[in-house]
Amino acid sequence: MLDGLTISIDAMGGDNAPDIVINGIEYFLTHEGAGRTARFLLHGDAEALAPLLDNAPRTRERSEVFHTEKTIAMDDKPSQALRKGKGSSMWNAIASVKGGQASIAVSAGNTGALMAMSKLQLRTKKGVQRPAIAASWPNLEGNMTVVLDVGANVECDAAQLTEFAILGEAYYRAIYGKSNPSVGLLNVGTEEGKGNAVIKAAHSRLAESQLGLNYIGFVEGNDISKGSVDVVVTDGFTGNIALKTAEGTAKLISSFFSEALSDNLWSKFTTGLNLVALRKLKKKMDPRRANGGVFLGLNGVVVKSHGGTDAIGYATALNIAMGLAESDFQNAIDARLDALHDEDDNIGFIS
């Protein structure tokens, strides 16, 4: 087996697994991961994986298969998944991180089940009440905006939102290489006094903190796509709605755009003249560029790929996983969490 970072893979997780998983790894090793040293632990049905690996030589060379016949269905409830999950491809992928055989785990499987198993095996970091899911999407500045939480916690208190700010800021620095990313708190307006009691309390805590966060205050929903802020903090209920709305809007615009370009002969002719520019636009609007939600706040890192993505989207999730595995962001989170709770003890902060 080759030296290098090791990524543990739930090879049976996802709507189109295991095909899309193996194709995604092969695409990653051909494109984003070309020249980078990585090895993969594939957890899944060895018989189903064998012919796929025969057609994916780069993946076969860099992978080791760990056979299991048990899988978690996409519609299993978290409680069901936990009851039957031990020994499944999802469970074993996470267990490799817990046991130190891999730096990070990736799955396109059932989100609720993946979070439940990750929490049970890896546990939350000291000082973190609940883990959060962080997602990225493109903005008008040509960069990415990170939003968390996007679904793990329907309700949050002020202390949890403050913790999310720390998790999201460290994640942004690790993935996008910005030394001092800006952090904003999602609200119904940017004016002082707006929002409910929880939002106001979180704002006061972040504004008064000496943690060194580049906290800019309240932001609104349109700031996510404008790129006004690097990290947007919110509860999982609001964040998930924002994420799904953004995905739906992107698909709607793409559909309208394609329809307009093929509406008549003149449209088709001008499309041909502007083909290079249109391809650039299509790439910018491609949701696969933002695939990969990260579970933050655990003693180990798990990346959740969209269940219905294709090889390109799965490769994006792998690229995120690789970037995190190569970074020191877990230690950065620990240092800031320690400082946060030292401050809480000193000021007697109550969420």
pLDDT tens digit sequence for 83-134? 888 999 999 999 999 999 999 999 999 999 999 999 999 999 888 888 999 9
Residue predicted with more confidence, 71 or 292: 71
- Look at residue 207 and tell me whether its pLDDT is greater than 50: yes
Please give the Cα distance from 189 to 305 (Å, whole number): 32
Tokens of 130: 């609940």
Residue predicted with more confidence, 204 or 247: 204
pLDDT-derived band at 282, boundaries 50, 70, 90: low
Q: Please state, in angstroms and rounded to a whole number, the distance separating the CA atoms of residues 174 and 191.
A: 31
pLDDT at residue 141 in the model = 84
pTM of the model: 0.83
State what percent of residues in the chain have pLDDT above 70: 85
- List pLDDT tens digits, range 209-228: 888 899 999 999 989 989 89
**Unique residue bearing structure tokens 């309390």:** 201
What is the average pLDDT score of the chain? 86
Q: Give me the pLDDT at residue 287, please.
A: 61
250-277 pLDDT, tens per residue? 777 767 666 666 666 655 555 555 555 5
- For the chain, list the domains and their CATH numbers: 5-128+297-326 (3.40.718.10), 132-287 (3.40.718.10)
Contact 39, 5 (CB under 8 A): yes
Nearest CA to 294 out of 142, 114, 140 is that of 114
pLDDT for position 2: 40
- The reported pLDDT for the residue numbered 243 is 83
